[in-house]
Structure formats: C-alpha cells, structure tokens
Amino acid sequence: MQTLHEAVQAMLSSEAQRHFIGGEWVGAQSGKTIPVNDPGSGKEITRIAAGDATDVDSAVAAARTAFRKSGWATMPVNDRAVILHRLADLIDKHVEPLAQLESLDVGKPLAQAQFGDVPNVSQTLRYYTDLSVHTRRAEPIAVSGYEARSIRVPYGVCAFIIPWNFPILLVGWGVSPALAAGNTVVIKPPEDASLTALYFCKLAKEAGVPDGVINVVTGYGEEAGAALAEHPGINRMSFTGSPEVGRLIAESCGRNLVPVKLELGGKGAAILFNDIDVSAAATALSGAITLNSGQVCCTATRWIVHESIMDRFVDSATSVLSQVAIGHGLDASTQMGPVISEKQRKRVLGYIERGEQEGANVLLRGGVPDSLEFDGGYYVRPSLLGGSPDNVCAREEVFGPFAFVMPFSDEDEAIDLVNRSNYGLANSVWTADLERANRVAEAMVAGNSWINAHNVFVHGIPYAGCNLSGMGGGVLGPDTFFDYLRPQSIVRPLG
C-alpha cells in the first residue's frame, strides 16, 4: 500500500475540512459536518463541512464581489492566462497528493488518478486558457448607417455541481472554460468525494487567483446543491450527475431564468460486427466496464454482438473479467477498486438481482468477493448478463462493473437496438469495414459515436449528451469556452 504524501497526511489529520469562500477556509455556519469514508476499507478518514443555504449565500456573495471588484473579469486576457498557467503548473507539481486523495476518496486505482484524472485537469486548464488568449472578444458588424460591433463578456457567477465518479477531472472540465473567460465560480463538489476540489482551492490561492474568484461549498445535494441551483445570484449553472437531479436543477434555473448546462447519465452501447479481432474487442470492452469500477456515465454497458461471434466473444470477455485484480485503490496491483459507497453497491447488486428475476441469463456471476481482505470495503465483482432488450438491466443505468449482451443478425437490427434507449450519451461501433463504421456511427442517436474504441476524450473534440443524457452545450470542445461568454452588441447610428 502506498505511503501517504505529507500534504495528504496533514489534510486528513485536521478534524474537518472547511469550505473555501472569499479566499478563506470557513466551517459550516451550522457547525455540522459529514463523515468521509475510504470506500476501500469503509473507515472514516476525515469529515467535511455540511454546507447549507447560509453558506451558499456567503459563497455566491463572495463570487459576486470578486466579479465586480477583484479585477479578474476585466484584467488583460494575457495576465489572467499567466495565473491560470501557474495553476496548471502547480497541479502538475502536486499530482501525487491530488491523486492519493482522489484514490482514497473515490476508491479508484491510484494510477488512474495519477496518470489520467489529475493530469487531465492541468491539460484542460491549459487548453481553455490558450484558447482564451487567441479568441477575439470584439467583432465589427458591417451594416450601413451604423457603427456597430459585438463584444463577448463573461456572465458573472457560474455555479457547478459535480458528481463523485470523476470529481477532480470534472472540476477541471467545468471551471476551466468559465475561469478562462473571466467568470467567477462557486463549486458544490459531491458529498462522497470533496477532498480534491478543496485541495484545488489551496493551489488556486498559491497561483494568485484573486480571493472570491473560486469558491467551494461542500455538503449534501438536497441542502447545499439545491440552495446553489435556486440561488438568484448566480448567472449560469452547470450540473453533472443523474437525470433525476438534473431535472430538479433545470426547474430551479428555469424559475430564475438562469442558463443551464446538464451533463447526465447514459446507457452506452457497443455494436460488434463479425469482422473484428474478437479477443482484442472483448479485452477493450471489459476494460471499459471495469474502468472506475464501471462508474462511468458514457461506458458501454450494452454489448450488441453479431450472432456468429457471440459465443467466442462471451468466452473471451468472461475470461478477462474473471481475472481483473480487485483491491484497494492505493495497492499498486489493483486494476479495479471498490464502488464509491455501500449505497452504490446495493444499487448495483439490486439491479443484477432484478435483471435475473426478469429472465436474464447470467453469463458471469459477479457479487461481493468473499475474501477477508475485502472486509469493510464496498467491493463488487464484474457481472455479465444477456437476454431481452426489455430487461431492466438493458434499459437502466446500473453504474457498476456490469454489461448486458444482446445478439443481432443485421446492421439495421443493431442500430434499432442501440436507439431503443432514452439516453443519448455515447456509443461505439467495432468493425474492420470503415465505410460501415461511419454509416453506423452516424445512425446511432447520441452526442458521441466512437469507432473501434470506447471512452475517447480529447481536448478540442466536443463531448455532450442528447435526450436523457443532457442539454446545453457539453464540454471539452472550443464551443464550451463561448458558453461562458455572453454576447453584447454596441451600436451608434451614423449621421
């Protein structure tokens, strides 16, 4: 097991983590705290402030003041870029403590946080910061009789509500374009995994981000999250999480006429034609559903396999999935950690039980590993079910190490099976025939279609959902930067 970095030890040795508001560390005004458990052992590792509407009020007020008075919104773009690049450099310098905190908080293998999630944050910051430097903020408008131009200005206070599966990576995807555009932000991280968002604030302060530009209020969704979403002082809202909560957020924002961006759940599919390398595809898709213990919104949990390769594919996948090394995130040999909480484990096991009751074939029985080393932690082994597309496990988001297999005989049938879902986040098609791959990629209804790969994220390529998977513009693409700037036209009649 990895020894904890001294910065992590220092953070965990304090009694409770506090909010970061107006550049200061402050406890919840109610004095209440929430326990934080290590999903790998089930033990409490620290506590966080249980924020409520009063704390949210203070954070929004601090962000509003910073927008008007700190100079962040009006400073030359290059000067703001220097500060954000300094923050990106500090993140790179602090990869180790950030990755350890993320692994401890979420349960994910350290290497995933260290070489994936955390470096991704500095990459996102640099991507949007560089974009901001090269973007024109004023465009002349050629209309006879008028001198006119359109300018782009930051909105003001942008609010972010983040889920627990990729907490620091999603802070990066969320706030980077908003900050680079000159907005100030209030973040409500997930109650199950808030530690890296707080560490991010420590680095922001060190980088010279003015006080009040970045604020974090920790707490439960129904209290701190709901108070933030319905706060009349915010100018934009970005929410990442479940469709159920997304609806509530959209309702609150609708009442205040605040623009909202929703990044929600998914039920991704992979279509596998019979001209593929069966074992390579089975390995890749088994990797996709065990990445982050399957708690990935866009992962491929419906495997739609050509009938002629079904038996070979299932043999190959069950063999790979049975050999996944399950263990504590900080153990170097771990390939898959626990799920985030006992509540999540019950959800995953409950779905599989219901799927079986509805007649699904159990191709690989997962369940709770019985070895003593897993005592206390929220571990669950990968499962594979197969059967009717009407099965609950083929329709709903399970959010664990799980996939549902269905056969098809021709291309149209495969596309119909994919498009039965009410979600629309991400699907993939696997075939050696690139003409067919592109045709199918276009026919699958979702924000993202991948060819011969799944879970592909590149800065500069937009990532968004449609239908139940989200609305409002998405993340990662250049357009996301402009989502955080509002247009304003300036006109003078001539003569």
d(CA 45, CA 164): 16
Indicate whether 222 belongs to the interface with ligand NAD (CB under 6 A): yes
In the beta sheet, which residues pair with residue 336? 326
226 binds ligand NAD (CB under 6 A): yes
In the bound state with ligand NAD, the residue whose beta carbon lies nearer, of 105 and 397, is 397
Minimum Å gap between C-beta 191 and ligand NAD is 5
Pick between residue 94 and residue 267 the one whose CB is nearest to ligand NAD: 267
Strand 214-216 to 184-188 pairing: parallel
- 177 makes contact with ligand NAD (CB under 6 A): no
Contact flag: residue 229 with ligand NAD (CB under 6 A): yes
Phi, then psi, of 336 in degrees rounded to 5 = -135, 125
Instruction: Retrieve residue 407's tokens.
Output: 């056969």
Q: Contacting ligand NAD (CB under 6 A), which of 164, 199, 402, 404?
A: 164
Answer for which of 22, 177, 233, 241 binds ligand NAD (CB under 6 A) is 241
Q: Does the protein bind ligand NAD through residue 225 (CB under 6 A)?
A: yes
- Check binding of 443 to ligand NAD (CB under 6 A): no
> Helix 167-180 to helix 118-133 angle, to the nearest 10 degrees?
10
From 179-187, 208-216, 262-270, 448-456, give the range in contact with ligand NAD by CB under 6 A: 262-270
Q: Taking CB under 6 A as the rule, does residue 397 contact ligand NAD? A: yes
Contact flag: residue 28 with ligand NAD (CB under 6 A): no
In the bound state with ligand NAD, the residue whose beta carbon lies nearer, of 237 and 285, is 237
Q: CB-based burial of residue 256 (10 Å sphere; 0-12 exposed, 13-18 middle, 19+ buried)?
A: middle
In the structure encoding, which two tokens stand for residue 389, read together?
A: 């597309």
- Going from the C-alpha of 98 to that of each of 16, 37, 189, 193, 246, the distances in angstroms are 18, 17, 15, 12, 28
Q: Residue 117 or residue 191: which is nearer to ligand NAD going by CB?
A: 191
**Minimum distance from residue 378 beta carbon to ligand NAD (Å):** 14
**Which CB, 183 or 240, lies closer to ligand NAD?**
240
**Alpha helices (runs of H) in 211-261, residue ranges in sequence order:** 226-229, 243-256
Closest CA to 249 of 262, 235, 233: 262
Window contacting ligand NAD (CB under 6 A); options: 44-52, 81-89, 157-165, 363-371: 157-165
Q: Where are the alpha helices (DSSP H) in 107-238?
A: 110-112, 118-133, 167-180, 195-207, 226-229
Least distance from ligand NAD to the Cβ atom of residue 249, Å: 6
Angle ∠(209,215,221) on CA atoms, nearest 5: 155
**Residues making up the chain, counted from first to last:** 495
Provide, rounded to whole angstroms, the least separation between the CB of residue 485 and ligand NAD: 21
CA distance 104 to 97: 10
CB 30 within 8 A of CB 52: yes
Phi, psi of 151 (to 5 degrees): -115, 160
Q: Which of 102, 191, 230, 263 is catalytic?
A: 263
Indicate whether 174 belongs to the interface with ligand NAD (CB under 6 A).
no
Nearer to ligand NAD, 122 or 238 (CB): 238
Cβ-closest position to ligand NAD: 221
Q: Nearest 5°: phi and psi at 458?
A: -135, 130
Q: Is 323 exposed, middle or buried (0-12, 13-18, 19+ CB in 10 A)?
A: exposed
Binding ligand NAD by CB under 6 A: which of 18, 19, 188, 205? 188
Q: Note whether 240 binds ligand NAD by CB under 6 A.
A: yes
| Partners of residue 475 on adjacent β-strands | 463
Under rule CB under 6 A, residue 263 binds ligand NAD: yes
Query: Is 397 assigned a catalytic role?
Result: no
Per CB under 6 A, 221 contacts ligand NAD: yes
Of the candidates 158, 201, 253, 297, the residue annotated as catalytic is 297
**Rounded to the nearest whole angstrom, what is the least distance from the CB of residue 441 to ligand NAD in the complex?**
19
Q: Helices 195-207 and 167-180: crossing angle, nearest 10°?
A: 40
- Rounded distance between C-alpha atoms, residue 420 and residue 474, angstroms: 22
Q: Are 268 and 426 in contact (CB under 8 A)?
A: yes
Residue 201 is among the residues annotated as catalytic for this protein:
no
Nearer to ligand NAD, 161 or 414 (CB): 161
Q: Does 338 bind ligand NAD (CB under 6 A)?
A: no
Least distance in Å: CB of 373 to ligand NAD? 27
* Residues at the contact surface with ligand NAD, assessed by CB under 6 A: 161-166, 188, 190-191, 221-222, 225-226, 229, 240-242, 245, 248-249, 263-266, 297, 397, 399, 425, 465, 470
Active-site amino acid positions = 263, 297
